[in-house]
Structure 1
Amino acid sequence: MQTTPDPRMLRIQLGIELRRLREEADRSTFEAADVLGCKQPKMSKVEGGSQGIKPEEVARLLDFYGASAKQRRYLTEVAEQAVKRNRPKKYHRDAVPDWFQRFLALESAATEIRLYEVETVTGLLQTEDYARSTIQAWEPAADPRLVEQQVRTRMQRQAVLGGKSRLRSLDVVVSEAALRRVQGSGEIMRAQLTRLIELSERPDIAIRVLPFSAPNRITVLSSFTLLHLGAQRLSSVYLEDVLGATYLWEAEEYTRYSMTLDRLQAASLPAEESRELIAKVRAEHT
């Protein structure tokens, strides 16, 4: 599937990636500005996604930060796409494989994440064995090395739950179906459900279960994620399917999904009752 990524999304991703590489290289925005021969405010705007940057400038920064060859190829391509004068769109459609790398950048910079999961535990809350089982189920013929690489990536994503992360709150509504659908084995499920209980006790993580018994609940057939990036002043809806991903950022669309999640939360069990239900399902995997 051929797509034309939205320049705004590309600028935001590029800024996030450049900031991460600069911080990993232990360089300041003043030093980066010197490399480009510009003032420090420009670097802040570039990293915030509000100002564009030329591909040749990106290449100089990547040299300065000591980026790997793989990072150079990918981010140079992103920079080249970002400067193209594409017609503005109300949504951004990504094709595989770029959609996931772009999502990783946005997720890592998010200050607030709210999401609804239908059939599986969300990747941010998965145990390593649960993650490996889901990946192997989706790609049973995949090279084991590729599977392990994907598992490592999924575990690395969970760094956003750490103390140094920009993420301030994670709000999850998970269908009871995700708790009861056995992934891997009873042992894997027991460990996964234990992790959910433990994480639900953190003040910055809310996990609510939408039970089968909820009366007159609305029907939402697919999962979705709401991402808010404070520094970039971006609020986006992220939708994923087998062919790629879609980002929605029109105010009306974001509001509609936010209101839908509010209704799902209202039909869900409170935090303590959700933990009790998770523990009840866990007890079935002895």
Structure 2
Amino acid sequence: MPTSPDPRMLRIQLGIELRRLREEADRSTFEAADVLGCKQPKMSKIEGGSQSVQPDDVRKLLEFYGAPAKQRKYLAGVAEQAAKRNRPKKYHRDAVPDWFQRFLALESAATDVRLYEMETITGLLQTEDYARSTIQAWEPAADPRLVEQQVQTRMQRQAVLRSKSALRSLDVVLSEAAIRRVQGDSEIMQAQLAHLLELSERTDVEIRILPFDAPNRITVLSSFFLLHLATQKLSAVYLEDVLGATYLWEPDEYTRYSMTLDRLQAAALPAKESRTLIAKVKAAHV
């Protein structure tokens, strides 16, 4: 299985990160283009991920935007990888630790997200205490400072649920196991389920529970994300495991996963009945 990131994905990540840094620095695409000695349309293509950019030009932009040293080093490395002429691949495998930083960039720019979670309430919908408990359970010997950094990163991901983000819709199918499996203690679970109920009332968020007793349901053995980025014209399937992540973006692959999620949604309870089940499980933790 390939372990080197696909250049297209790296270009898209670079574009997202460079645009964010430019906006944080309150600079225009015209000013950024002047730094590179090019025209504004090229800068827009770079930020959209459709135009390659040389590592030295990335360094110039990072300096112009006043990016922190650690981020400059990381993104310069991404640019170096993107500049390599790798053979096209049907799928792209990322190894730890870069996979998560790449996912954060893609998630932050996604316009539509659909996902299926089996065992755990997905990170976008977690409370801080629930997130902390899941991280501590996974890494019980971790330095508390590292745990808190990871918790805050997970909370910052939820910025996509705010009004100024690119996200237009979030469709979630949770296995009933995800809401019944106790994470932390009853108090944490009660607060988490209350948070789910609150989010489920939003018009741009749909949460459906796939019940244990759903008849003739299909069996899907792993969680997955479907990400659509309108600006970058990218639709990708995101699969995660303990060693890293895999992206699939061939049209037939994306379509098959989309159809699978359609079937899971059809087998799940409607939104209103899902809220009733969540409330019932929440009441059991009183």
| TM-score under structure 1 length normalisation | 0.99
3-state DSSP class of the match of 1:113? strand
Matched-pair contact (CA < 8 Å) for 2:2–2:92: no
| Pairing 1:1-286 to 2, within 5 Å after superposition | 3-286=3-286
Find the aligned partners of 1:221 and 1:58 in 2 and give their Cα distance.
Answer: 40
Shift of 1:3: 2.1
CA distance in 1, matches of 2:68, 2:165: 24
Native 8 Å contact 1:2 1:95 kept in 2: no
For residues 56-96 of structure 1, the C-alpha deviation after alignment (integer angstroms, 9 at most, x for no partner) is: 00000001000000010000000000010001100000000
**Quick one: distance in 2 between partners of 1:203 and 1:12?**
29
Q: Offset of 1:106 from its aligned partner?
A: 0.1
Q: 2:50 is matched by which residue type in structure 1?
A: S
- Unmatched segments (≥5 aa) in structure 1: none
The whole-number CA distance in structure 1 between the counterparts of 2:143 and 2:196 is 29
Which contiguous aligned blocks of 4+ residues in structure 1 show a shift greater than 4 angstroms? Answer: none
CA–CA separation in structure 1 for the residues paired with 2:203 and 2:27: 33
Structure 1: how far apart are the matches of 2:85 and 2:94?
17
Q: Distance in 2 between matches of 1:242 and 1:35?
A: 41
Deviations along 1:153-182, one digit per CA (max 9) or x if unpaired, are: 000000000000000000000000000000
Distance 2:167 2:28 in 1: 22
What do residues 205-233 of structure 1 show as CA deviations (whole Å, max 9, x unaligned)?
Answer: 00000001100000001100000000000
Q: Give, in angstroms, the shift of residue 4 of structure 1.
A: 1.1
Whole-Å separation in 1 of the counterparts to 2:242 and 2:71: 25
Q: Is the 8 A contact 2:2 2:93 kept in 1?
A: no
- Letter of the 1:229 partner, please give it: L
Number of residue-to-residue matches in the alignment: 286
> In structure 2, how many angstroms separate the alpha carbons of the residues matched to 1:148 and 1:162?
22
Instruction: Classify the secondary structure of the residue corresponding to 1:19.
Output: helix
Cα deviation, residue 261, structure 1: 0.1
TM-score scaled by structure 2?
0.99
SS of the residue 1:137 aligns to: helix
What residue identity is the alignment partner of 1:139?
E
SS in 1 for 2:240: strand
Answer yes or no: is the 8 Å Cα contact 1:208–1:268 preserved in 2.
yes
Q: Determine what percentage of the aligned residue pairs are the same residue.
A: 83
Q: Secondary structure at the match of 2:61?
A: helix
* Structure 1 letter corresponding to 2:175: S
Indicate the SS of the match to 1:165. Answer: coil
8 Å CA contact retained: 1:113, 1:171: yes
- Give me the whole-angstrom Cα distance separating, in 2, the residues matched to 1:71 and 1:187: 38
Cα deviation code 1:237-264 (max 9, x no counterpart): 0000000000000000000000000000
Q: Per the alignment, in what secondary structure is the counterpart of residue 196 of structure 1?
A: helix
* Post-superposition CA distance 1:111-143 (Å, at most 9, x none): 000000000000000000000000000000000
Where does structure 2 lack aligned partners over 5 or more consecutive residues? none
1: distance between equivalents of 2:92 and 2:2?
Answer: 12
